Chains A and B, each alone.
Chain A
Amino acid sequence: MSIRGRFATVAVLFLVAVGLIVWSVAAFLTPGTPGGVVNFTDTQAAGQPVDLTVQTVGAIGSGAHPTWVSYLVKNPHTGSWIQDTTWELPAHRLIHMTVLQYDTGGPLRNQEWGQVQGTIGSTASLNGQPYSVYDSNAGNGVGHTFSVPGLNINVPLVGVSSSAQVCGAGPCATSSPHNTITFSFTTPGPGNYHWQCFVPCGLGYLFGNGGPMATQNYMGGFLDVVR
């Protein structure tokens, strides 16, 4: 083979290898999850509090990983539940958040996440009852947390009883056993703030922090705070 031919062959093989690597990384980071950003910036008049409603389900029930635990968010425009964990919020605004927790719970690896932090008054409400600390070794334990490390926000989401008829696949209807947790916080200035669950709920993965814990649109995402 001529020098030119060899060069062309090597160049083609190199480009194929680079393409495969890029494709693999992209596929790993977005394994069949829906994309997009849920926009909450136009749901209320300027200065008015924004309502944000989510639910946590023990199994999403569809898509590439139907058995994975996941968050779902209520589309503020259509009212439908969608699997998207990047939420666009207005800056310096009061956010009223409601979490419908359909999953069971257990002891926390670190009870530090059993304390409500960063919310208005450092409290949340569990089925109408205020709480600031939840003992994860008692009762139904903690199923998940909603935590924004960069804003020091943490809310333990108390689990439902495992003996109840737990919702098997999301989105779950309010007729299924669930806990309603509400709290409020104020968004800071513009920026991207990572949020996640601090319960290692990626069962079957190393330390429970792989799978849904390490995949966008399941147990973590971003608060995309804009002007």
Chain B
Amino acid sequence: MKEIHHLRRMTTVWVIASVIVDLLFWFLVGPHVPPGRMTNMASSDQFDFNILFVIAIPVLIGVWIYLGYTIVVWSAKRGGPEPVGGEAARTNRTAQVAWIAITSVVVLFLAGFGTVELMVNNGSGGGEGPNPVWSPAGAAKAETAALAGTGTWSPNSGQVLPVQVIGQQWKFTYRYPTFGGFETSQLILPDNTTIAFNVTSLDVTHSFWAYQLGVKADANPLINDVAYTATTQRGEFVVRCSELCGIWHGAMYNYGHVVSPQAFMTWAQQTEAANAANTKLLPAFAWTYVPDANGAAGGYYPDGTVTPYSRAEVYGAKQPVS
């Protein structure tokens, strides 16, 4: 009687099924996997997710094939002998070692892959804290100029645009230091531009999550959390707070827009002019503001100051080397 090579059978089916499903996923589903391709970080996130799927799908299919094969081929037949004991029921050391080796390689590869993606994508859109380890070219220069009040930006100049995100219960507001430091409830960004988000809070911890931009950074009081992205597509995106921050946390969201560089310039200049009277009353642009507390004993500002929202310690984005 010809010996049946069960493992060879399963492996053949597994390879064919994995290749087919992976290819179908990559070409049909992959381009639609969130967060889309609105920025370079979003595209990178989508690529990373697709890689994870392509690796996970063969694992899933392998487990399913093994289970299915076991049920169909190795299940006990009515009236047949009990399928226990004997050579076939002994531990298969080869299978054990192969399973541990393969899964270890997969996990270690993904750890390395994730680390590389984090590095080459300047933090992959995540908040890097006040002194980013990975920054895009020109970011430090733009951030330093913004803090000094000398920053400029013009369409198609290739300059990094710093935008400050201020969380407060329960709304995000945005300051544009290269346009006089005006503050607004609207988040408008130019297309084809690298954005340096500087995220902070005036009260509790919030989290700035613009998922179509591939950006997510905690908003902590007295901390400047820097995250980078570069816009590549125009359209609407949603900003949500992703840190439970109180009773109206669920209402803490707004919509932003990526528009053409020229349209952004027009909007920024018009808003700067329209808000000029209030901008003069705002504190000078800074990475963080004090005081951040309202004492438990009452009173708006426990330190007695009448300047409730003022420039705090100046630190944050990595300064230029020279």
Q: Which residues of A approach B to under 8 Å, CB–CB?
A: 106-112, 114-115, 117, 122, 132-133, 135-137, 147, 149-150, 152, 154, 194, 196, 198-200, 203-210, 213-215, 220
Contact = CB atoms under 8 A, between A and B. Distances in A.
A147 to B, nearest CB: 8
Interface string B264-284: 000000000011011001110
Contact of A206 (B184, B278, B294): B294
B186 interface: yes
Interface stretch (B40-48, B63-71, B117-125, B298-306): B298-306
A133 B294 CA distance: 24
Contact of B204 (A147, A199, A207): A207
A208 B246 CA distance: 12
B185 A149 contact: yes
A110 B277 contact: no
A205 B293 CA distance: 11
A203 B277 CA distance: 30
A189 to B, nearest CB: 15
B168 interface: yes
Nearest to B282: A111
A204 B309 CA distance: 20
B1 interface: no
B297 to A, nearest CB: 7
Nearest to B255: A150
Contacts of B203: 109, 200, 207, 209
A194 B249 CA distance: 11
Contacts of A150: 251, 254
A196 B170 contact: yes
Q: How large is the interface on B (under 10, 10 to 19, 20 to 34, 35 or more residues)?
A: 35 or more
State the 3 A-B residue pairs at the shortest beta-carbon distance, nearest first.
A208-B294, A194-B251, A214-B247
Contacts of A106: 300
Contacts of A215: 247
A108 B309 contact: yes
Contact of B306 (A137, A194, A196, A199): A137
A117 B69 CA distance: 67
B102 to A, nearest CB: 43
Interface centre among B247, B252, B293 (most CB of A within 10 A): B247
Contacts of B202: 109-110
B308 to A, nearest CB: 4
A149 B171 contact: yes
Contacts, number: 105
Contacts of B309: 107-111
B278 to A, nearest CB: 4
A204 B298 contact: yes
A114 B308 CA distance: 13
A109 B254 CA distance: 21
Contacts of A109: 168, 202-203, 294, 300, 308-309
B147 interface: no
Nearest to B278: A115
A194 B248 contact: yes
A204 B168 contact: no
B296 A149 contact: no
Contacts of B308: 107-109, 136
16 contacts: A107-B307, A107-B308, A109-B168, A109-B294, A110-B173, A110-B309, A111-B282, A111-B283, A112-B184, A115-B275, A117-B185, A133-B278, A204-B297, A207-B169, A214-B246, A214-B247
Interface in B240-263: 246-248, 251-252, 254
A133 to B, nearest CB: 5
B296 A110 contact: no
Contacts of A108: 308-309
B218 interface: no
Contacts of B283: 111
A179 B133 CA distance: 52
A149 B251 contact: yes
A207 B293 contact: yes
A152 B275 CA distance: 14
A205 B202 CA distance: 15
Nearest to A216: B247
Interface in B136-191: 166, 168-171, 173, 183-186
Given A109-B203, A198-B168, A198-B171, 4 more contacts: A137-B307, A150-B254, A209-B203, A209-B204
